[in-house]
Amino acid sequence: MMTETLNFDVTTVTESRISQFDPNNIVFGSLFTDHMLVADYIDGQWQTPKILPFGEISYNPALAVLHYGQAIFEGMKAFKNDNDEVLMFRPQENWKRFNISAERMCMAQIPEEIFIGGLEELLRLDAAWVPKGEDNSLYLRPFMFSSDVYLGVRPSQNYRFMIIMSPAGKYYSTPPKVKVETEYIRAAAGGVGYAKCAGNYAASLYPAKLAQEQGYTQLLWTDALEHKYFEESGTMNVMFIIDGKLVTPAVSSTILKGITRDSLIQLAKSLGLEVEERKVSVEEVIAGISSGSVTEVFGAGTAVVVSPFAAIGYNGEDYVLPEITEESVSSKLKKALNDVRTGKVDDTFGWVWKV
């Protein structure tokens, strides 16, 4: 598929670093492909995007993003099908969400031909880095930051948009044990919870660190007002199997509108599962684990895909979830999603974007 074409200023590497890449030993976010994209927004105009060898960028100490944090990003994945063609998954959804985040953070809008056209251009150059194999993909990271050299607090007038790419395998090696957070919050109504802005992730680190010190992998975020309803988990949306139905918190201004979340909902419906998007209370889930009506709880996100939880910690007690098998709903949903993304089944949803 092609977006409107745009000229990119391309400088390729003289020697690829791909020999450093071991598809059997992938550490998330630690190795980057040969090329990256850089596009600058100056005087109200996007300049010709550059594709350059991956490498360091220099910055002025007064760069606005370093002080006031106007920064947003997306997480996406590319796969290879059996014919070694490179496939992106629903890139237009990420592009649209990126611009929603940009609007909330008072940043420039990015045109499709730079965002998706840039991804296509990079993926053609670095196609050899797209790994095959279950749980493997190339993680795509478009991001943008304010690039004014100015210490006044105002929306920046200049921005830099970049794309880097990194091979990814399984995000969690064992099922996470998550703790219900009842003191700190991720987002409040009217805030920036629905935007994929860097500050949301920075603010989550301290409460997550406290939970990790208590032996948990991640947090289950609850609402800011009462800590009564589930919102997200770590950097993922959260889903529950309750009485055989897929139940997930309805999206709101405090919850990121996950593309994996939406895809799993559509796939679940296509598999004949009943889906409920509504408020899900902590009480309901904790009681349901004990009574057996809650059989699975899992995170859903680009990086983690579908990540079933081993146990939920709440008020000093751990509520252990049943072990996941191939027959579990989350396993079936994960397989259905992977089959579409890697071209193993017909894409009846129109989600796959061939590069």
Q: Which residues bind ligand COI (CB under 6 A)?
A: 75, 201, 235, 301-303
Q: What is the DSSP letter of 288?
A: H
Give the residue from 273, 313, 274 showing the smallest Cα distance to 297: 313
Question: How far apart are alpha carbons 41 and 48 in whole angstroms?
Answer: 9
Nearer to ligand COI, 49 or 142 (CB): 142
| Number of helical H runs and strand E runs in the chain | 7, 20
To which H or E segment does residue 80 belong?
Answer: strand 76-80
Q: Closer CB to ligand COI, residue 131 or residue 301?
A: 301
Q: Which two tokens stand for residue 235?
A: 């950097």
Label the pairing between strands 317-320 and 311-314. Answer: antiparallel
Nearest distance in Å: CB 118, ligand COI: 18
Interatomic CA distance for residues 273 and 343, integer angstroms: 23
Q: Between residues 282 and 333, which has the closer beta carbon with respect to ligand COI?
A: 333
Q: How far is the CB of 66 from ligand COI (least distance, A)?
A: 20
Question: What is the number of the residue whose Cβ is closest to ligand COI?
Answer: 75
Least distance between ligand COI and beta carbon 28 (Å): 7
Q: Which two tokens stand for residue 254?
A: 């405090």
Which lies closer to ligand COI via its Cβ, residue 68 or residue 201? 201
Paired strand residues for 162: 38, 143
CA 16 to mean position of chain CA atoms: 27
Residues in CB range of 145: below 8 A, 6 or more apart: 63, 65, 70, 71, 72, 159, 160
Of 8 and 171, which has the nearer Cβ to ligand COI?
171
Choice between 29 and 155, CB closer to ligand COI: 29
Q: How far is the CB of 316 from ligand COI (least distance, A)?
A: 29
* Angle, CA of 121, 125 and 130, to the nearest 5°: 105
Closest CB 73 distance from ligand COI, rounded Å: 7
221 in Cβ contact with 185 (< 8 Å): yes
Q: What is the nearest approach in angstroms of ligand COI to the Cβ of residue 151?
A: 28
Which CB sits closer to ligand COI, 301 or 313? 301
- Closer of 303 and 312 to ligand COI (Cβ): 303
Distance CA 318, CA 23 (A): 35
Which residue, 33 or 158, has its beta carbon nearer to ligand COI? Answer: 33
Least Å distance between CB 101 and ligand COI? 11
CB of 302 to ligand COI, least distance (A): 4
Residue 323 CA, chain-centre distance (Å), reads 25
Cβ atoms of 178 and 224 within 8 Å: the answer is no
Strand pairing partners for 53?
A: 35
Copy the structure tokens of residue 94: 């990420």
